Amino acid sequence: MHSTASDGSLSPSEIIETAKNIGLRAISITDHDTIDGSAEALRSPQAFPLEILSGIEISADYSPGTMHILGYMMRPDDPSLKQALKDIQQGRAERNLKIIERLQQFGLNIDYKEVSEVSGGGQIGRPHIAQVLVRKGAAQNIDEAFARLLKKGGPAYVPRYRLPPAEAMQLILRAGGVPVLAHPFTLHTENEAELEGVLVNLKQAGLKGVEVYYPDHGLEKTAKYERLARRHGLLMTGGTDFHGAAKPGVHLGVGRGDMRIPYRLIEEIKKSRA
Ligand code: AMP
Ligand code: ZN
């Protein structure tokens, strides 16, 4: 799940409150390229009896698809993790300015201040830029803003500094965490054999798990990822990718309503760390 520290709409304390209200046993805030929201949740005196696992989601350098590496249970104050995230955030800030410049060149009336206002004080990303475009009537909705302008390869797309997958995983491992490949379908591999090849390479570079359970996986993908995880001795994890109002239809803890991610997956993560 994502908090206001990245592109979610609930603060870490609002997430904790909601998670307790619906009776979850454990959560992990896995913000994009920042551990601030997760660290805040870990420090929260309000969390008990909810178990908080530290988390992160790092965007790795990969094409043609999108590769996100999740990290669970890192030490949130690990110095090399913090430094690397600072570098990524710097690259992101520079890229945001370039995207806004491009949009201005297309004649759209948008400035950095407006984008920073909708971000809720956390890290700024393309979803916040999209929100401003929608608010100004320059796009019908967030998806349309991405499809027409902001998506990878789109006219207002500007790439940003990303870590190679191996470096992202090593960073998580050195901070005591467990690296997991998020929502494997976004890699856009052609078939199961190609995905399997990617997994084998990632495993050699430190990968420990695969996000098998995810709102958009459906039965077929879920079965495929379970099969691949089993075959290659990788942990299975689950995530809702909850973003609050920023991602309508996906609810905290239950995704589109039918997800129940079992606690035993966390026990397996802990065993693997030990
Ligand atoms: P950024 O980290 O600033 O590059 O923005 C990436 C985020 O934008 C992703 O984590 C998604 O939440 C969102 N996003 C990416 N592609 C799309 C899309 N095609 N439609 C809607 N949201 C998207
Ligand atoms: Zn992701």
The strand ranges marked E within the chain are 26-28, 51-53, 55-60, 67-72, 178-181, 209-213, 235-238
Mean per-residue pLDDT, 86-109: 95
End-to-end CA distance of the chain: 25
Which residue type does 45 have? Answer: P
In a domain, 46, yes or no: no
Which ligand is closest in space to the CA of residue 56? 2
146 inside domain: yes
The bound ligand whose nearest atom lies closest to the alpha carbon of 58 is 2
91 part of a folded domain? yes
Count of CB atoms situated within 10 Å of the CB of 230: 12
Q: State pTM to two decimals.
A: 0.91
CB–CB of 83/163 below 8 Å?
Answer: no
**pLDDT tens digits for range 196-229:** 999 999 999 999 999 999 999 999 999 999 999 9
Query: Is the Cα torsion angle 184, 254, 209, 90 positive or negative in sign?
Result: positive
Ligand nearest to the CA of 131: 1
Per-residue pLDDT of 147-160, as tens digits, reads 999 998 999 999 99
Q: Are 175 and 74 in contact (CB under 8 A)?
A: yes
Quote the ligand 2 centre to 107 CA distance (angstroms).
Answer: 31
Q: Report if residue 101 sits inside a domain.
A: yes
Q: Indicate if the pLDDT at residue 122 is higher than 90.
A: no
179 falls within a domain? no
Closest residue (by CA) to atom 13 of ligand 1?
127
- Reduced to 3 states (helix: H, G, I; strand: E, B; else coil), residue 163 is strand
Work out how many domains the chain is built from and give that number. 1
User: Has residue 174 been placed in a domain?
Assistant: no
Mutate to test the pocket of ligand 1, among 3, 126, 183 (most ligand atoms within 8 A of CB): 126
Residue 272 resides in a domain: no
CATH (domain of 140): 1.10.150.650
Query: For residue 56, how far is its CA from the centre of ligand 1 (angstroms)?
Result: 16
Lining residues, ligand 1, CB within 6 Å: 7, 32, 125-127, 142-143, 146, 151
> SS3 breakdown of the chain: % helix, strand, coil, rounded to 5?
45, 15, 40
Pocket test residue of 2, 6, 7, 132 for ligand 1, highest count of atoms within 8 A of CB: 7
User: What is the pLDDT confidence band of residue 123, given thresholds at 50, 70 and 90?
Assistant: confident
Q: Which atom of ligand 1 is nearest to the CA of 247?
A: 12
Domain that holds residue 116: 86-150
Q: Is 62 exposed, middle or buried (0-12, 13-18, 19+ CB in 10 A)?
A: middle
Predicted local confidence at residue 120, as pLDDT: 77
**pLDDT at residue 204, rounded to an integer:** 98
Answer whether residue 10 shows pLDDT above 90: yes
Per-chain residues with Cβ under 5 A from ion ligand 2: 68, 182
Is 132 contained in some domain?
A: yes
Segment 192-197 shows an average pLDDT of 97
Measure the CA–CA gap between 238 and 80, rounded to whole angstroms: 27
Closest residue by Cα to atom 2, ligand 1, is 125
pLDDT of 121 higher than 80:
no
Task: Name the 3-class secondary structure at 136.
Answer: coil
Q: Is a pLDDT exceeding 90 seen at residue 246?
A: no
32-74 pLDDT, tens digit each: 999 999 999 999 999 999 999 999 999 999 998 999 999 999 9
Tell me what the pLDDT averaged over the chain comes to. 96
